[in-house]
Structure 1
C-alpha cells in the first residue's frame, strides 16, 4: 500500500483480503491449486498491527476468514481484527461464522448481498428468486432491496 499514491496520510480500514498466499499473479478464477500456499498469519498480522500502531490505518481487519482461520488469528493477535468481510446473502447466510465473530467482538461486514450474479462468479439465484420477488412485491421494494436488507 502506498499512502503517497493514494494522497492520504492514513486509510480508515486495512484488510487482509484472503487467508492464502499465491505464488504468481492471476488474471482469473478459479485459481490452480498448485499456486496456493498457506498465509503466514502471524507475520502478516504483526505487520498489520504495526501499521495501526504507526497511525497508517485507523483499523485493521480481514476478509474471507473462516472460523478456523479467525481462531488462529485471534490466538496470536495483540490487536484483534475490527471486522471480517465475507460474502453473505440470503442463499449463503454464514450463521456459524456470524455467531463466532459476534461472540469474539469481531464485526461482520457482508459483500455480494445479491450473490455472485454474473457468469464469471455464479448465477442469478437471488435476484431471480420467486420467494424474494413475492416479498419485494408485498413490501413495495425491489428484489435487490429485499436481498440486501436480509443479511
Structure 2
C-alpha cells in the first residue's frame, strides 16, 4: 500500500488532505511512537493528534525519524492538532499553537482545530474542577478564539484552520464572522451515528468533515458493537474484507475522512486497505439501517456550558 493510493479531498483554500488518517486519542505512551512509524511505513500520510491527548512529543519523535531516514519529507505529511479548552482566550491561541509545534518538532501544522466550542478556566489543568468535582468553565466566545486561529495562519504556524464538535448553528455563526473560513469540522461519525444532516450542512458551507471514532469504539461496554452486525459481516465476506474495512469504506463513500485509531500493526495495515473496492448503493442502504443514531461521545460533564454543542441542533 503506497501513499499515492489514498485519495485526497481539496479544502476551500486550495490545500488538500488525505481521505484517511491515523487517530491517536488514548494511544498509550510507548505505543504511539511505534504506531506512527509503522503507519508511515505502510502508506499513512495523515496523522491526527491534539494537545489534550498529551502525545504530541512522541508523535513528533516518530515524524522526525521518518523524515531523517528519508521515508518521507515534511511536505508528504498532513499533521493535525487541536487547541484545548483551557486556552480559548484570543491571546492564548498563538502561544498554544507554538507549544504544540514545539512538542511535534514542526514549523507548521497542516490543520489546526478548535477542539470544542466551549472553554474552560485558564491554567495548566486540562480539566479544571471545583471542590465538588464540577468542571470550571470560561465564557469566552469561540468567535474570539477563532481570531487567534486566524492569526496562526497569518504567522505561518498553521496552513489551514478548522473546528471540531461544532453544530450547525455554531458553524453558521462562525462563518458569518470569520475572515479566514474553517475548512474542516472533525466530529463523531460511524455506522452507529452517521451524522448525515451535519455532513450535508458542512458540504453546503464548503467545509470538509473528518470522522473520529469511525469504528464506534468497539470496546465500549455500553454500546452494541456494529462490527459484529451480521449484515456488515455478510458484506465483508463478499469482498474478502473485515467488518472494520467495510465500515471505513462506508464512511469514505459517505464523503467523510475517517481517522481510525490503532497501535496494532495488523490493524493499521488493514484500516488503510479500503480503496480497492466499492460498496453498491444497495449495500450502503443496508448499512444505513444498522445504527441507532445515538452518540458515543457526549462529554456530559460540559453539558451545562452555554456553548455545549449537542443539546438541540445537529
TM-score band by shorter chain is 0.7 to 0.9
Higher strand share: 1
Q: State yes or no: 1:130 paired with 2:220.
A: no
- Residue 107 of structure 2, aligned match among 9, 14, 17: 9
Output the CA distance in 2 between the equivalents of 1:39 and 1:59: 22
Output the CA distance in 2 between the equivalents of 1:20 and 1:116: 24
Asked if 2 retains the 8 angstrom alpha-carbon contact of 1:12 and 1:57, the reply is yes
Map 1:69-88 → 2, pairs under 5 A? 69-88=170-189
Q: In the alignment, what sits opposite 2:168?
A: 67
Q: State yes or no: 1:142 paired with 2:142.
A: no
1:134 CA displacement? 1.1
Asked if 2 retains the 8 angstrom alpha-carbon contact of 1:83 and 1:109, the reply is yes
Q: In the alignment, what sits opposite 2:207?
A: 106
Output the CA distance in 2 between the equivalents of 1:38 and 1:92: 29
Give the RMSD, CA atoms, in angstroms: 2.1
Q: Gapped runs of 5+ residues in structure 2?
A: 1-96, 252-314
Give the TM-score of the pair, scaled to structure 2.
Answer: 0.43
Output the CA distance in 1 between the equivalents of 2:237 and 2:243: 8
For this pair of structures, how many residues does the alignment match? 146
Output the CA distance in 2 between the equivalents of 1:35 and 1:118: 30
Output the CA distance in 1 between the equivalents of 2:228 and 2:120: 35
- Residue 92 of structure 1, aligned match among 188, 193, 197: 193
Residues 36/133 of structure 1: CA separation in 2 closer, same or farther (3 Å cut): farther
Q: In the alignment, what sits opposite 1:25?
A: 126
Q: Gapped runs of 5+ residues in structure 1?
A: none
Output the CA distance in 2 between the equivalents of 1:147 and 1:98: 17
Asked if 2 retains the 8 angstrom alpha-carbon contact of 1:18 and 1:65, the reply is yes
Asked if 1 retains the 8 angstrom alpha-carbon contact of 2:163 and 2:186, the reply is yes
